[in-house]
Structure 1
Amino acid sequence: MRRLLSILAIALATAGAAQAQTGQAMLVLDGSGSMWGRIDDRPKITIAREAVRAMLETWPQEQEIGLMAYGHRAEGDCADIETLVSPAPLDAAGLASAMERVSPRGKTPVGGAVERAAAELSGAEQASVIVVTDGLETCGADLCALGDRLAGGEIDLTAHVIGFDVDDSEGQLACLATATGGQYLAASDAATLTAALGQVSAPEPAPSEPVFVDEFEREALGEGWSVDHPDPSGFILDGGALVTMTVQPGYMGKRPDQANIFRWTEATLPEGDWDLAADFSARMGEVQSLGGRRAIVQLGRYEDVDNNISTYVFRQGNSNDDLWLRLRAVSGGTETRAEVEIAGDTRGYDLARILRDFEEKGARLTLEKRGRDYVGRLSMNGWAMQEGGPEEIETDPVQILRSSGDPAIFAGTLGSEQTVAEFSRIEIREVE
């Protein structure tokens, strides 16, 4: 994925995904020789100690925490991994004192340290490992394989990895985090390292009941909905679903006269943070030798073509016949995008099976707002794009100062072929 924003924006946008910080945690601090490198004329080890102390000021009291370091006692020794403080109720002064004993000099055995941390956390019902490293693995560990093993282990363990002055967002460090359901965050200086540590230590927002829900259990949309440029031949309520099919090529936000944009007018989006989500299934065509149907299923907030934000699954229909998850924001006519390719017929995906799963099993689209940052998310219902792949995919965040308009859904095409979608549920949750 393209990283379009600073780590501060990423931290805010992904606050709901941390999934950690109940039970026990182990902070793993890089003590390799490169931590004597300088940023803004200050040693990285000094910056790291200060950032950790700032994190501990807001550490959840119910969460036990320990401290481990590697590479701080010997040069060239991949076994140089030491538990400085075993997981216990927070003792900020004790942890700060232990960090002062970390004098960088050795190698970077990230995998070995995480394995040892996992072993020490094996008695916890939920556990997390937070790694701060300024370099890549130098002792031969396969971090992707390690992440897979930890994900399949007996304990609920999440590994978060912060790359400090090293960006490995498409490499092994990120792979370790992603495989365990954690986050990989890149930090380049004191401020972004402090923000990243604050992100992974933040308690997960408490689950809340939806403030608005519609499951379409009736025969007509009713007064709670309006339809832009309605063409009644293109939609119907049937069997607890809003069934809609393409009547005019385009998408929500492309043209002012776009037919059958469904606005949820009775629902009000909260002033603060929120999740807008819709469950759907869709018939998006068959695999074809020269590219498939240019189908689109869309969820967003819509005022007009110059002011809207939406996330959508988009079948591009080119010779690669690829699928994308896209987040598109338009504010005052200025467009910003973030997108990630989620499947492609020429890239080892079974696209025919994926299209069947969209039609038969369905998925959920979510537009998430955190502060001024918005993220698009696709969650599959017990299936994945590839065997062993994630069942949830999200875009990088897009930042806009404000959004306006009604919650809205749409399904269509950018070509002549029809797309048929069934929306079975739409909901809004307020996030504290």
Structure 2
Amino acid sequence: MVNHHQDSATAPLGPPGTSLSCSQLGQEGASMTTRAGAAAGVLIASLATSTAADGIGATMLILDGSGSMWGQIEDQTKIEIARESVGRMLADWPEDRDVGLMAYGHRSEGDCDDIETLMAPGPLDIRAAEAEMADVSPRGKTPIGASVRTAAEAVGPGGSVIVVTDGLENCGADLCELGVDLADDGAGLTAHVIGFDVADTDGQLACLAETTGGRFLPASDAASLSGALQEVSAPVPSEPLFVDEFERDNLGDDWTVDHPNPSGFILDDGALITMTVQPGYMGDAADQPNIFRWTEATFPEGDWDISADFTSRMGEVQSLGGRRAIVQVGRYRDVDNHISVYVFRQGNSNDDLWLRLRAVSGGTETRAEVEIAGDIRGYDLAQILRDFEEKGARLTISKRGRDYVGRLEMDGWTMQEGGPEVIETDPIQVLRTSGDPALFAGTLGSEQTVAEFDRIEITGVD
């Protein structure tokens, strides 16, 4: 968990600076590259079995101990990232959900039967789990199929499996056939598979997921693994409590526009279209025009998601920087009390693009952020900007207890070849938030930013 606290009066929107590790507090705008919940090369099998009392099933975490786990991602071994990531996941584990721990490939080389249950499913003992993971030393093979079968037998029928792996099956199992067997045996098991930095050339990983009714999600780094894990392991939202798809001619009484400039927005063809009328952003200044507050909608008392679907024209790539564009969704009361997640095009010489979650409570700021495009390998910023304009994306804030996470979900496209389609920030902890659901799109420069919001919704999460 990464928190960044400072007085909002001295903390303008950007630009972000040098990247820091997740344990460090950055200076103004410092990057906090997310690893929350990410597990490079981890195989996490979650088999949720129904219980008579509450229907909450057990989960088996299976740690990939194959030799490839000594590979490095951004100067850190995969096994180290795996231990950190699983530890972070367990730190937020629900008290009423049993969990176990398995590992494979960690005791001998070339042994496809090297699968060990380190902790049987039961109430979480996080210190014991961390101690067991610390003793896993990669050396062996990658028996994905046998591990999933073993985990299924240990936990029982009626749930799901989440597989995150940095390699392909190399012990002879046919994962497609395994998926068919699991689907046909009447246990109702669903397998989700996350492939980290691995080319699923023969489609085996995807087949295991799809034949059991699950999802296959590619991921390329710790941040994208975090998003993928959130997608397949997060609590299932209920039906939205409030939805607005803007299918009318004007906002009406359901919305309040702070300091409205009618020349800067319009409802047209099922979208709220807004463009910059004054440089700034939601939370920047008390008189910021065209902050759209959904005053008719309310947040539930417990956990919730607020999401907005949008397309946005953020400008073109230029030789020396570009447009400083921003698209936000959040909860807004005033400049001293709000929380928002936003895509922010920095417009500096590197022309970086960031996902940021920023909360201000009583004038004190907390933030977490991740660079999603820019001066890093594998990104075509020009294509990304076109995809934001033509295909669109979804911005979400998820509240779980006192933790808040910002998430960006692309609509059928990715920042780079092979994924990810979901990117999220580290969680930040806020004791309470207040205010209305809110939308904003703007810039910090002289060039206009045009955004179209097609839908906003609030969902309660059990």
State the Cα distance separating 1:256 from its structure 2 match: 0.5
State the Cα distance separating 1:108 from its structure 2 match: 2.1
Alignment of 1:409-420 (within 5 A): 409-420=439-450
| Alpha-carbon distance between aligned partners in 1 of 2:376 and 2:104, rounded to the nearest angstrom | 44
Alignment of 1:314-393 (within 5 A): 314-344=344-374, 347-393=377-423
Alignment of 1:230-249 (within 5 A): 230-249=260-279
Residue 227 of structure 1 corresponds to which residue in structure 2?
257
Could you tell me whether the CA contact under 8 Å between 1:28 and 1:130 is conserved in 2? no
- Structure 1 residues 84 and 345: CA distance shift in structure 2, 3 A: closer
- Structure 1 residues 79 and 106: CA distance shift in structure 2, 3 A: farther
Q: Among 152, 155, 161, which residue is 1:127 paired with?
A: 161
Q: Among 174, 190, 207, which residue is 1:154 paired with?
A: 207
SS of 1:112's equivalent?
Answer: coil
State the Cα distance separating 1:112 from its structure 2 match: 2.6
- Structure 1 residues 352 and 55: CA distance shift in structure 2, 3 A: closer
Structure 2 regions of 5+ residues with no counterpart? 1-18, 25-34, 38-43, 50-57, 67-82, 124-128, 168-194
| Alpha-carbon distance between aligned partners in 2 of 1:307 and 1:364, rounded to the nearest angstrom | 23
TM-score of the two chains, using structure 2 as the length reference: 0.64
State the Cα distance separating 1:266 from its structure 2 match: 0.3
Q: Deviations over 1:244-294 (max 9, x none)?
A: 000000000011100000000000011110000000000111111111100
Q: Among 432, 436, 450, which residue is 1:402 paired with?
A: 432
Q: Among 19, 22, 27, which residue is 1:3 paired with?
A: 22
Could you tell me whether the CA contact under 8 Å between 1:151 and 1:180 is conserved in 2? no
What percent identity do the matched residue pairs reach? Answer: 58
Q: Which amino acid in the other structure matches residue 208 of structure 2?
A: I
Number of aligned pairs?
350
TM-score of the two chains, using structure 1 as the length reference: 0.68
| Alpha-carbon distance between aligned partners in 2 of 1:106 and 1:400, rounded to the nearest angstrom | 35
Alignment of 1:110-189 (within 5 A): 112=142, 114=144, 116-118=146-148, 126-128=160-162, 144-145=196-197, 148=200, 152-156=205-209, 178=225, 181-182=228-229
Structure 1 regions of 5+ residues with no counterpart? 12-17, 33-43, 94-98, 138-142, 160-169, 184-199
Q: Which amino acid in the other structure matches residue 364 of structure 1?
A: R
| Alpha-carbon distance between aligned partners in 2 of 1:338 and 1:105, rounded to the nearest angstrom | 31
Could you tell me whether the CA contact under 8 Å between 1:117 and 1:129 is conserved in 2? no
The root-mean-square deviation of aligned C-alpha atoms, in Å, is 4.4
State the Cα distance separating 1:79 from its structure 2 match: 2.9
Could you tell me whether the CA contact under 8 Å between 1:148 and 1:180 is conserved in 2? no
Residue 21 of structure 1 corresponds to which residue in structure 2?
47
Q: Which amino acid in the other structure matches residue 390 of structure 2?
A: E
- Structure 1 residues 309 and 388: CA distance shift in structure 2, 3 A: same
Please say if 1:251 is aligned against 2:290.
no
- Structure 1 residues 130 and 351: CA distance shift in structure 2, 3 A: closer
SS of 2:254's equivalent?
Answer: coil
Q: Among 304, 312, 317, which residue is 1:282 paired with?
A: 312
Q: Deviations over 1:39-59 (max 9, x none)?
A: xxxxx9xxx9xx9xx999833
More off after superposition, 364-373 vs 116-125: 116-125
SS of 1:206's equivalent?
Answer: coil
State the Cα distance separating 1:22 from its structure 2 match: 3.8
Q: Which amino acid in the other structure matches residue 59 of structure 1?
A: D
- Structure 1 residues 260 and 129: CA distance shift in structure 2, 3 A: closer
Q: Which amino acid in the other structure matches residue 79 of structure 1?
A: D
| Alpha-carbon distance between aligned partners in 1 of 2:47 and 2:381, rounded to the nearest angstrom | 38
